[in-house]
Amino acid sequence: MAHIPQLLSRGLSCSFEFGPPRDEKGEATLARTIEELRKRDPTYVSVTYGAGGSTRDRTHDLVVEINNEMGLTAMAHLTCAAHTQADLEALIVRYRNAGIENILALGGDAPVGYDGPAGELQYSSELVALIRGLGDFSVGVAAHPEPHPRSISLAADRDHTAEKLASADFAITQFFFEARHYFDLVDALAQRGVTKPVIAGIMPATSIAAIARMAQLQGSEFPEWLAAKLYAAEDQGPAAVRAVGVEEATKLCEELRAESVPGFQFFTLNLATATREICDNLGI
């Protein structure tokens, strides 16, 4: 396996994000999805981490299985919220001992209804430093093109992103629907002296209700022009809505690729169809 920056140096990257399944049905669905998408020879894949570590063991086991048994470079997500430093250190060492070389360091959120102690690390930049001290890892961070909903201003968000990316190796953005948000982020980081790779997070809008909810949660705009196209297709059924979402995601990727984006990370929601169709459209 390899560190993700080494893989990014080879040219345009294509990666897929998966989440630990909750039950046997989910396990079967994810197994089919991974089997289908691994044929695309992804640069790497990543595995999400539930709020407050609610999927800690399932994330670990899935990352190790993908990395060590499926022959794919796998990156583990890890969050600070609701963790002691000892918890984090133990998990990082587990990953190191299992041969995992790539971690995405996130601030994260506590689980809904959680009333336990706050995490001992407050910021993802602190987690980056902790990971660095425990092994030879490649470390990524998240970036918000639109920006983070808790940021007091766009400039403050860009400052914070530049600060944490300065100590990390690369960033992956939250999803967005208009390329101008990505370009503004990258330009703002460059103005602050940070030129490390920023991978574009891509979420095709295949369900109107789901994408509207997720956009609201992460503080992203659900553009009126996109909503209008999706609603116009709704009467024709879910396949028509997905087709619109795939078409618009393809256009977004083409616009980004024309400006030399270092890579795409597709948020699959453990389903292969839309991601496969976008990759076909792009010739990936």
pLDDT at 147: 81
The terminus-to-terminus CA distance of the chain in angstroms comes to 21
Catalytic-labelled residue, pool 17, 126, 248, 277: 17
DSSP 153-176: SHHHHHHHHHHHHHHSSEEEEPP-
Pairing of β 263-267 and β 13-18: parallel
- Pick the range with the lowest mean pLDDT from 53-62, 88-97, 220-229: 53-62
Identify the CA nearest to 212 among candidates 231, 233, 232, 227: 227
Spatial separation of the C-alpha atoms in residues 55 and 82, rounded to whole Å: 13
As a whole-number percent, the residues of the chain with pLDDT over 90 amount to: 82
How many residues in the chain?
284
Strands, DSSP E only, in 124-254? Answer: 138-143, 170-173, 198-202
Spatial separation of the C-alpha atoms in residues 242 and 276, rounded to whole Å: 12
Topology of domain 4-282, per CATH?
TIM Barrel (3.20.20)
- Taking 80 as the threshold, does the pLDDT of residue 57 lie above it? yes
- Taking 80 as the threshold, does the pLDDT of residue 18 lie above it? yes
- Taking 90 as the threshold, does the pLDDT of residue 42 lie above it? yes
pLDDT at 251: 98
**Active-site residue, 24 included:** no
Instruction: Provide the residue ranges of all domains of the chain, joining segments of one domain with +.
Output: 4-282
pLDDT at 115: 65
pLDDT at 1: 67
Tell me the mean pLDDT in the region 189-198. Answer: 97
Give me the chain's average pLDDT, please: 93
Contact, 152 vs 160, CB < 8 A? no
Contacts of 229 (CB under 8 A, 6+ apart): 244, 248
Taking only the tens place, the pLDDT of each residue in 194-251 is 999 999 999 999 999 999 899 888 888 899 999 999 999 999 999 999 999 999 999 9
Tell me the mean pLDDT in the region 153-181. Answer: 95
Amino acid occupying residue 265? Q
pLDDT at 114: 67
Tell me the mean pLDDT in the region 62-80. Answer: 95
Taking only the tens place, the pLDDT of each residue in 103-162 is 999 998 776 766 666 788 988 999 999 999 999 999 999 999 998 778 899 999 999 999
